[in-house]
Amino acid sequence: MTEYRIGADFAQQLDDTDPLAAFRDRFHIPQTKDGRDALYFCGNSLGLQPKQTESAVLQELEDWKNLGVHGHLAAKNPWLPYHEFLTEHLAAIVGAKPVETVAANSLTVNLHLLMVSFYRPTKTRYKIIIETGAFPSDRYAAVSQIRFHDFDPEEALIELMPRDGEKTLRTGDILETIDREGDAVALVLLGGVQYYTGQCFDMEAITKAAHGKGCIAGFDLAHAAGNMVLKLHDWNVDFACWCSYKYLNAGPGSIGGFFVHERHAENTALPRFCGWWGHDKDTRFQMGPDFKPIRGAEGWQLSNPPILSLAAVKSALEVFAAAGGMRPLREKSVKLTGYLAFLLDALDTEAFEMMTPRDPAQRGCQISLTVKGGGGKAVFEKLESSGIVCDWREPDCIRLAPVPLYNRYRDVYHFVRIFAEALGLDDKMREVV
Ligand SMILES: *Cc1c(COP(=O)(O)O)cnc(C)c1O
| Pairing relationship of beta strands 216-220 and 185-191 according to DSSP bridges | parallel
220 lines ligand 1 (CB under 6 A): yes
Q: List the residue whose alpha carbon is closest to atom 2 of ligand 1.
A: 222
Fill in the DSSP letter of residue 128: E
Pocket test of ligand 1: the residue of 105, 132, 243, 248 to mutate, having most ligand atoms within 8 Å of its CB, is 243
pLDDT beyond 80 at 429 = no
Judge if 67 and 31 occupy the same domain.
no
* Spatial distance between the Cα atoms of 60 and 372, rounded to a whole number of angstroms: 50
Q: Which atom of ligand 1 is nearest to the CA of 195?
A: 15
The pLDDT of 341-370, averaged and rounded, is 95
What are the strands, taking DSSP E only, across 206-319? 216-220, 239-242, 257-260
Residue 222 included in any domain? yes
Q: For 152-161, what is the mean pLDDT? A: 98
* Ligand 1 center to 107 CA (angstroms): 6
Each residue's pLDDT tens digit, 84-113 = 999 999 999 999 999 999 999 999 999 999
Is 204 inside any structural domain? yes
Determine whether the shortest distance from the Cβ of 131 to ligand 1 is under 6 A: no
CB pairs under 8 A, 24+ apart, for 69-77?
A: 77/311, 77/314
pLDDT tens digit sequence for 402-426 = 999 999 999 999 999 999 999 998 7
Give yes or no for a contact between 372 and 353, defined as CB atoms under 8 angstroms apart.
yes
C-beta of 223 in contact with ligand 1 (< 6 A) = yes
Residues 106, 141, single domain; the answer is yes
Q: Is residue 50 part of a domain?
A: no
At position 346, the amino acid (one-letter code) is A
Ligand 1 contact, 112 CB (< 6 A): no
* pLDDT tens-place string over residues 367-387: 999 999 888 999 999 999 999
- Residues 208, 111 within the same domain: yes
Examine the domain organization and report whether 423 and 275 are in the same domain: no
Task: Please indicate, yes or no, whether residues 308 and 370 belong to a single structural domain of this protein.
Answer: no
pLDDT of residue 427: 79
Q: Which atom of ligand 1 is nearest to the CA of 45?
A: 1
CATH number at residue 246: 3.40.640.10
Mean pLDDT of the chain: 96
Which of 254, 288, 322 terminates a domain? The answer is 322
* Domain, as residue range, for 303: 57-322
Query: What is the pLDDT confidence band of residue 430, given thresholds at 50, 70 and 90?
Result: confident
Q: Which residues pair with 397 in a beta bridge?
A: 393
Non-local (6+) Cβ contacts of 357 within 8 A are 168, 197, 198, 199, 200, 363
Amino acid 1: pLDDT:
59
> Angle 219-300-305 (CA atoms, 0-180°, nearest 5)?
100
Contact 224, 192 (CB under 8 A): yes
Pocket test for ligand 1, best of 108, 197, 219 (most atoms within 8 A of CB): 108
Backbone angles phi, psi at 111, to 5 degrees: -60, -45
Report CA(131)–ligand 1 centroid distance (Å).
Answer: 15
**421 Cβ neighbours under 8 A, 6+ residues apart:** 382, 386, 429
* Same domain for 300 and 216: yes
Residues with Cβ within 8 Å of residue 375, at least 6 apart in sequence: none
Say yes or no: 281 and 147 in one domain: yes
Which of 322, 342, 368 is the last residue in one of the domains?
A: 322
- Of 45, 50, 61, nearest to 23 by C-alpha is 50
Q: What is the rounded average pLDDT of the residues 204-212? A: 98
Whether pLDDT at 343 is above 80: yes
pLDDT tens digits along 276-319 = 999 999 999 999 999 999 999 999 999 999 999 999 999 999 99
Whether 69 and 191 share a structural domain: yes
pLDDT at 30: 97
Q: How far is the CA of 129 from the centre of ligand 1 (A)?
A: 18
Q: Does residue 196 line the site of ligand 1, with CB under 6 A?
A: no
**Ligand 1 contacts CB of residue 63 (under 6 A):** no
Cα dihedral 255, 256, 260, 262 sign: positive
- Number of Cβ atoms within 10 Å of the Cβ of 401: 27
DSSP category for residue 169: -
Ligand 1 touching residue 366 (CB < 6 A): no
Domain boundary among 281, 297, 322: 322
**Ligand 1 in reach of 222 Cβ (< 6 A):** yes
Q: Where in 192-264 does DSSP place strands (E)?
A: 216-220, 239-242, 257-260
Instruction: Check if 137 has its Cβ closer than 6 Å to any atom of ligand 1.
Output: yes
Is residue 2 one of the residues assigned to a domain?
Answer: no
Model pLDDT for residues 168-205, shown as the tens digit of each residue: 999 999 999 999 999 999 999 999 999 999 999 999 99
Q: Do residue 40 and residue 114 come from a single domain? A: no
Q: Where would I find the beta strands (DSSP E) of 176-255?
A: 185-191, 216-220, 239-242
Q: For the chain, how many structural domains are there in total?
A: 2
Residues 208 and 299 both lie in one domain: yes
Judgement on whether residues 272 and 401 belong to the same structural domain of the protein: no
Does position 428 have pLDDT exceeding 80, yes or no? no
Residue 395: cis peptide before it, omega within 30 degrees of 0:
yes
**Nearest of 224, 243, 240 to residue 106 by alpha carbon:** 243
State whether 84 and 28 are in the same domain: no
Q: What does the pLDDT look like over 121-141, one tens digit per residue? A: 999 999 999 999 999 999 999
- Minimum CA distance residue for ligand 1 atom 15: 222
**Is residue 159 in a domain?**
yes
Pocket of ligand 1 contains residue 243 by CB under 6 Å: yes
Q: How many CB atoms lie within 10 A of CB 400?
A: 29
For ligand 1, atom 14, the nearest C-alpha belongs to 222
